[in-house]
Each structure stands twice: as structure tokens, then as C-alpha cells.
Chain A
Amino acid sequence: MYKYRAEITKGEEIRYISHLDYAGVMERAIRRAKLPAAYSEGFNPHIKMAFASALSLGVISDAEYMDFELTKSLCQPEVFEKLSRALPEGVKLLRLKPVREPKPCKGKKHKALMAEVEEAEYELLLPMTEGAAWDSAVAAVKAYNEAKEAFVHRVTPKTDKLIETKQYMLQPVKLSMAGALLKLHMDIAITQTGSVKPGEVLELLAGEYGLPGDTGRVLIRRTAMKGQGRPLIDLV
């Protein structure tokens, strides 16, 4: 089997599709591209593919990563060209590299993509509450950055728990203005035991620290996903 790693985007056009649907989009694109895909065994064979980290519905991304396997070793330009042409609006193939497996004498195979992710960076844009002062936004972010602990309540149909967010913040949250919008930058750790979503941190900033922003209208973009401080595509 010949494995490739793709750096792809999730654009505005498909902002509102789930991670599972996104995976389906990519699987169909690989088939349309007529690449000799490797399939899983079993009664319901799927293309052997893996993603780095699920992206929430409503979040776009400049840096998604997908590993997939082919049964033939094709040269990079051919795979790049064929896959690019088969992609729908909303997905762009930025970079593609064959995954070089370590020599058999060194033992182990290349680490799984999911296990390589250590951090993700996000940019959040949201309108400032009307009449609010810039200073209060600065103060809110500062207070959050200086807090030792900050808990967010995560409620899903399956879970209901308190999550301490600061442990995942690799850098202080940065605040700036982009036109009339507030712009936040977050660098969040993704660990084997968990992580926090940028939307959850925002909820905390607005709810508990008084960030004067209209969180209902936030647009979130993942700008990078890294392992060992480098983009995941550079780890192969």
C-alpha cells in the first residue's frame, strides 16, 4: 500500500457540513479522481483514509489533513492533479506528499495522523457589541489570559461535564481589531485525553470575562494544525 498525506481546506461553501459528511465528500472525490484507492476489508468496504482532527460544524479551515492509501505507487504530480480536479467547491488541495514509511529494520510504521496532532490554531471574527468600549474587550482577554483556571460547562446529549480550559491554551489568547470586528487568535493543544473547542473558550470569554462581542455571529477558521511545532504535512 502507498500512503499519501493531503493538506486540504474546508471553505465557506461547506462551512455547515459535519466532519462525517466532509469525510464522505473526500471519499467520493477520490473515487471520481479514478485513483487506485485501497479499500478496507469486509462487507462494506471503505477507502482507507484518516483525518487528523474533527472540525466542528460551522468552522472553516485552511489546514485539514487527510491520509489515504493507494494500491499503486503513483507520482505526486499525478495524484495531486487528479484529486484536485475531482474536488467540489469548498475543498482545495494545497499540498500533497507521499508518506514515507520508516525502513523495515527500524521497526514501527509511520505514526497515525491522529496521533501526530498536538495543536490547532484558530482565528475568530465577531462583531463587537454595539456601544461597547474596546478597552473592555482588552480587559476581558487579559483577565482570561491571567486566570489560573477557567472552567467551561460542556453539555451534549451524552455528556455533561466541567472542563478546565487553561490547560489547553498553548499561548495567551490574542485580540486585535479587523475593521469593525473583534479578532481573536487561539492556539489550542489537542491531547490524547482531550482538548477544548475555540467556541467554548469564546463562550467563556463572553459569558464570564465580559468580552463585548456578538457570539451568535462568530466566524471561526482553523488556520493551522501542527505536531512537534510543525504543520502536519511536514512530518512526512
Chain B
Amino acid sequence: MSEVYKVAIIGSGPAGMSAAGHAAKLGLNHVLLEKTDHLSDTIYKYQKGKHVMATPSQLILRSDQEFDAGKREDILKRWNDRTGELGVNVKYNADVKSIKGTGPAIEGSVQKIVSRARDGSSTVTELQRFAPPYALELTSGETILAETVILAIGTQGNPNLMRCPGSDLPHVTYQLDDPYAVLDQHIIVVGTGDAGIENARGLAEDPAQGNVVTVLNRAPKSTNVRESFPTAKEPNALSLVADHEAKKLTIRYETETKAVEPGWITLTTRDGEERIRCDRIIARIGSAPPRGFVEACGIEFSSADRLAFPTLSPVFESTAPGIFVIGALAGYPLIKHCMNQGYDVVEFINGNTSLKPADEPLLEAKFKGLPGRRGVDEWLELLRSNITILNSMSPLQMREFMLDSDARAYKKGEVIFEKNDPGSSLFAIAQGSVKVRIDPKDSSKVVPIGQGLIFGEVGLISGRRRGATVVAAEDAICVEISRNAALKLQSQVPSAKKAIERISTERQLLQMFGSGLAPDDIREVVDSAKIVQVKAGEAIITEGDEGKDIFVIRVGSMIVEKEVGGKPVFLSYLPAGSYVGEMALIDGGQRTATVRAAIKSEVIRVDGEAFDRVLQSKPALLDRARKDMELRRQTNAFIESRKDSFSGVVDLYSEQAKFLVAQGLGEATDVLLIDERLCVGCDNCEKACADSHDGLSRLDREAGKSFAHLHVPTSCRHCEHPHCMADCPPNAIHRGPDGEVFINDTCIGCGNCQRNCPYGVIRMDKVPPKKPSLLSWMFFGNGPGPGEPSYKWSKKNTKYTGDPAIDESLDRKKAIKCDMCAGIDGGPSCVRACPTGAAIRVAPDEFLTVSRLTNEGA
């Protein structure tokens, strides 16, 4: 133990394993510490036989380990063999629980760790950093000493812990190695994801085990297991329900734990509290990111944001000198990146400072088309210094940033984007300037935006279409920052976040109130404006309250309700980009309706007094506000008058609107709705979908919910801020030019998007072989006919070649979802192919209007 290693590598994923391999090759005195008893736990846990992808394909691999696309088993075997060959010093079952410097205290090097409690309060702890060598303490109690540490623990993290009183008792566990070894116990399984279900079923499989197993499910019971077990795979959930029905185990719906004591547990159920016997608790409630552990090592994160990564130097060194961070934890979620970094970081530690990063060719390609012969580093520096929001980025951050962004040259007069184009990216001007056309009819009415500034932020924030056309005012170079890169940027660089927020508030106000306002006119308003987060269902304005503030919806959407005859009646739907609260300001008096968030939203709260001053000084603006208000008032009056004469109809309309919002219409941009009075169940919509997309239907017509004859089938809503995009390692999910959210060919089939989509619309499947033509089916009966071929037919007709590389790609499962028939002339096939007119696609703001009262006969 007295031995001091040159490098200790923590975590044997692609990043750590590659680093250790290179250290071994270079003959450095090293140790590779792995928590589990095998290499690369994340990949070990992929589903059996998974086809692992080697994206991005243009990136060359630089590692002493091999890696190419292939089966999980083959890849793991090759890594194991090679790790042996290279003579890597691996220590398994070595779970590092803390890293501390053993040298003297480093002067002035103190880390502040902010921890937030659930109630929103936060506490700051200060941590003095100590110089290396580092002492790595394992959970076994052993300590290992090393001069430098490479932290490559990925982002899988540790299991989430239960929080109720008594949850620290020893019989509360988070893992179950062998369910068959547990006998004659009362066991509570908390969590109904796949892991929880597998454990519960294992424990109850054989009645001879004598276990009494209870599964707690927070969700309510439903015939449709996709709703009652939203985080589990359907077959797993069905088997669990079958076990329950066979009385092998018990599922308790709408139940949570209240308190734990030895031998007993108290549950909160819909019908009150209940105390039942319990000898063991197995909690499978997801996992928490490893941030807490990493921060405790003295490694600073760039911000408090959930998406933030550790702050790193160009050679991956963290704020704790001698501790390097690589791999998914450093923000690079693909295996190839991870392996390259493993190699690079060991080179750096070994003193090679001139090594060019392996992503160099990718970046070269990005800058290839730009005028002026500059190298990658020069370009990065130019962008960093010219664009204000990028000023404080490190060279490493710039590299990563540019991998997800694009730099382009525009000729004078060239259109960069057009009004009503969909787009969720942000633009920044690196050279030159652009102008915004504020009047579509008159191209001379423009607002200039100069070098270093940003534009297009409305699309980024609200996810809505572009509000105006932007044209290059002179030859210009702009960077298009993808939504993902922009989100990352805001979490890495707090000053960039502030700048974007301020500019977007100012521009949003200007754009909304238009009519000749200049930034100076609304300076006071912008200064007093606050960005407020609103939870789904929370009210920003309550009927009958006093208040003059105006709210601008920045993200999300709101519904407006009014109490009529003792019942809240739905009046209207407000998408992002609209404003409310002007009535009380203009006419005085109390709020006339309640406005609440349809989904988690963000509003700009504008001080009423300040805004009133602007209104008073600008009669044109006041006029316009009055007109908007008049329109709203008419709608309200119309609904109220109907309420007297057709109370039933209005109630239905109101209930239906709320139902639609609950089905995700509040965050949708385009959703498929089926009128059950017209749908004859011919499934031509599904068939048409399959036939226009590789033979796989992206729509499950029968599934999904209905209310008063409107059915919302299981099909993509093309959300404003798609949940599915959140965690896609190759960044394969994008918003296309028609507003569609689509998945491109770089999908590696990890299934994250499927888990993240709250509406269960993504399926993982392989593409069936091509079918014979329609005519040959009609006249000769060849092939399976229109629609998705049966599994059997696909299996029989898949032409395996015997070449494993090709055969594996034939069997490769990818994420499949609706792309709104992008690029297909005529638009969505489901709608075109419906013989009765039952299927339509709507945007919520055009559908959730009063006209539905008459159109839909709601």
C-alpha cells in the first residue's frame, strides 16, 4: 500500500480502459480501479447481443484498444483480451469513495459546493484542496496512493436512495444479486422500472421460496400497462400484472412509502395510511448522477445547472491539480471520443504537450468552406474572441462546442432564415452583420444586428417558428449553434446564459409590441422584467386578484379559465410568444380570468407600472393593445353567452380542452387527432405510415386516450422542447424544416429517447426487408400486402449473407418515430390515406380555439 502509483485510473469504461491500456503500453506505473468485477460496466449492461455503433464515422480511433461497430459480446471480449495482453494492472471490486490530496494545503484553492435542499434553500460548504499525491479510499477500507488520477467513471452514477424516515436501516437495499437466495421474507419492491420488475418477479417466481412480495407503484391502475408502468418495457409490465393476477405477488397502485422501521413499513395509499410487514426493501428508483462524489474530490463544475460538466483545461485537467476527467463525465458521450481521450490524457500526463486532438479532422471539415485560410485553432480563437457570448470559453470547450455547431459564410443579401421557418438553433455573428426584416411586405424596414451579437434566440427558447426573416447585410460569417450546443453553452458559461436571457427578453418585447418601439423605449421595462419558472398547473394570474403585471410566455404554454356558474370554463390557449395581463392594466380593476401553465413553462414578468408608462407615451401601442384586448373579450363573452343557453356543450368543450392539454397538446407543435365518430377502424392510416417509411408504422392508432369522441393516438406530438432529444449520445434527434422532430441515421439504438419520451411514441425496431410491389400483390398475391409486414414474414424474407458485418446491420434495431412525412410531397400520409376524414393533424394554437365549439360540435 505504501506504493505510490504514477497514475490511478478510476472506472474501466471505454475511456478509463483505453487510458490504462496506453499507460501500460508506455510502461507507466499505473492501476485501473473498477467498482464491479468486470470491465466497462455500462457496456456490460447493454442488452444481450446489442449492436454497438462506432460513431462519428469520420473520427479516427486513437487507442491501443480496438473498437469497431459490432456485437456487445465481441467488443467486450476483445477489450478483455487486449487488456490482458497489454498487461494492464486492473483491480476489480474497487469502488472509490473518496479522493483526497495528501500534500500540503494549496493556498487560495478552495472549492465552494452548493447543495440544494428540496424546499429550494441551499447551503454552501467550502472545501480546501490539498496537493497530490492523492489518497484514494475504497469502500473496502483500503487506500491507494497516486500522483495523478484519471477520473473516468461515466455518468451512470449511483442508485437513487429512499428518503423517508428509516430509509437508512440496513434492510433497505438497492440491489439484488440472486433473487433465489432470498427465502420466507416479506419483501417490498419500490419502483416499477424494468429492474424493479425483474427483481420482484424473481423473488416470487417459485411459491416454494415462500416470499411475500409487494410491488409499490406510484401510478394509478390502468388496463393499458404503458400508462400504469410508464418506465418499464411492455412485456415486463404485462408479466408483472399477470403474476399479480395469479396471486404470486401484489402490486399496490398509487402507493408510496411513508416510513420504515424494523419488520414493518408504513405506506401512503389513496385510501389513507397502512402499515404492513416488511423484512426487506429493494428500492429500484433510478440513479443519481455522480456529481456529488466528483465535487467532493475538489473538482469544480461550470455551473449549478443539471447539465453542467466539470471545468477542464485543454489537457482535461480539472480544478484539482493532477486529477483529470475524461469520457462521458467530461461531456463526451460516445465510445470513440472516450477511447481517444483515454489515449490523449495519458500522453499529456506523460509530458507530450504537442499532441493534436483526434477530433482535428472533424473541425477542419467544419471550417473548410469558409473564406480566408486559417487553421482550426485560429478559427476557434477568432470565433471565441469575436462572439461575445463565447468570450469566456476555454479552448477545450470551444472544440467541443464547435463539434455540435456549424460555421457558414453568407454573401451580402443572402437569406439566413425566413419568417415562419421552423428552427430551434441560435445564430451568432463572427464577422460582418445582418439585418432583420420586421415588415414582410416592405424589405426596407430592417433592424441591424452587428458583429459579435446573436440572433434567432426566440426559436431556441420557445421552440416556435422564426418570427422574422434575417438577411446578411454584408458578407458575413455566422455560427449556427444547435439547440443542444446552446443549452450546453448556457450551462457551462453563466455569463452567456445571462446575455442570452437579456437579449431575448428585449427582443421578445420589441417584437410583440412592434409598432415603432426602439430598445431605448423599453429599457426600463426590460430592466425590471424577471424570468419566472412556472410549474405545470400553477396559476400566474388568479381571477379576482389585484395586480397589474403583464406576463409574456417565453417557454411552454398557458390556458385561460374563468369561473362560470361555479365551474372553471376553458376560455383559450396561449402559446409561447403571447402575453397576458393587459386587461387589468388598461381598464383597471381585478383580474377577470385565471391563467395557468399547461405544462412546465417560463414567463417574463413585466412590471405593470413601468409598462403603463410606455403605453402612455406611445398612443399607437396603446391602440394595438386595446384591439388585442377587445378580441379576447369577445371570445370570452361568446363562451359565456353560450354557457347560458348550451351549458352542456360548453362544459364538454371545456373538459375536452383540458383533456387535450393533459395529453400533451400544451407542448405539442403538431399532433394527430382521430374523430371516433368517423373512424371505421380500417387501419389505413397505419398502413400508409408503414408504406411511406421503410415498412414500419410510427403510429399506434388504437392505443392512446380518448375523451368525448376525440382520440389522441400514440404518435409523436413534435414537442416544442422535445424530451426525446435530451440524452441522445450521437445527437441524432433534430427538428427539421417542416417543424418535425426526426431521428437521423446516426442513431446508435441506445433507447434513451424511448425512455425519455413521456408519450411512449418511440419504438425500437429493425427495418423489414423490402416488399414486392403493390400490383404484384394485387394480381399475383406476392408478399404481405400493404402495411407493416408481419414479424414472421420479415424474418423469413430477410436475406442474410453470412457476412457478420452485413447481417448484424440487417438486425440492427434503431429508434423509429414519426417524422411528419418530411420531404414527402402532399404531407402526412396518415391524413391523406384516411378514407373518412377521421384523421387530422393540428397545431394546438389553431385547434384549441372557440371555433371548435362549432366545428367539432364538442
A binds B: no
Q: Measuring CB to CB, which residues of chain A are less than 8 angstroms from any residue of chain B?
A: none
Q: Measuring CB to CB, which residues of chain B are less than 8 angstroms from any residue of chain A?
A: none
